[in-house]
Amino acid sequence: ETGVTQTPRHLVMGMTNKKSLKCEQHLGHNAMYWYKQSAKKPLELMFVYNFKEQTENNSVPSRFSPECPNSSHLFLHLHTLQPEDSALYLCASSQDQGPSYEQYFGPGTRLTVT
C-alpha cells in the first residue's frame, strides 16, 4: 500500500449507531488531518494531529471524536450523528507543518446518516 488509505470507502449508519473511520498513511509523515466535505461546500478542516498530538480542533461537535495512536494511523469515532453529518470525510497527511509542505489526501469515506 502506498500513499494515504481510508476505510471504509462508504458507510451508512443510523443516528444511534457508533462507527469509526480509519486512515493510514504510508509516507512517513508527521502530521495528519481530518476534513469534511459537504455537498456544494468547501472542504472544512476538522482536526489536526502533529506527532500524535492534537493541535487543532476546528469547533467540531463532540459526536466526532478523533484518535491518533501513532503518526501513521488516524481514526474518527462517530456516535449519535445527525443526518446533516452526511458528507465525504477526507484524511490527509503532510511531512510536517510549514508553508511548503503540501498535504496528501486519501480517497475519502462517503458517510450517509439515516
Partner 1 sequence: DQQVKQNSPSLSVQEGRISILNCDYTNSMFDYFLWYKKYPAEGPTFLISISSIKDKNEDGRFTVFLNKSAKHLSLHIVPSQPGDSAVYFCAAKSFISNFGNEKLTFGTGTRLTIIP
Say if strands 109-113 and 10-13 run parallel, antiparallel, or are unpaired. Answer: parallel
Phi, psi of 57 (to 5 degrees): -130, 110
Residue from 11, 29, 66, 108 touching partner 1 (CB under 8 A): that is 108
Q: Does 100 bind partner 1 (CB under 8 A)?
A: yes
How far apart, in whole angstroms, are the C-alpha atoms of residue 68 and residue 76?
Answer: 9
How far apart, in whole angstroms, are the C-alpha atoms of residue 79 and residue 12?
Answer: 13
Residue from 7, 55, 82, 112 touching partner 1 (CB under 8 A): that is 55
Q: Does 106 bind partner 1 (CB under 8 A)?
A: yes
How far apart, in whole angstroms, are the C-alpha atoms of residue 75 and residue 46?
Answer: 12
Residue 44 or 67: which CB sits closer to partner 1? 44
Q: Which span (12-20, 60-68, 72-80, 91-99) binds partner 1, by CB under 8 A? A: 91-99
Residue from 19, 45, 63, 72 touching partner 1 (CB under 8 A): that is 45
How far apart, in whole angstroms, are the C-alpha atoms of residue 101 and residue 93?
Answer: 10
Q: Residues interacting with partner 1, by CB under 8 A?
A: 4, 6, 9, 33, 40-45, 48, 50, 55-56, 58, 90-92, 97-100, 102-108
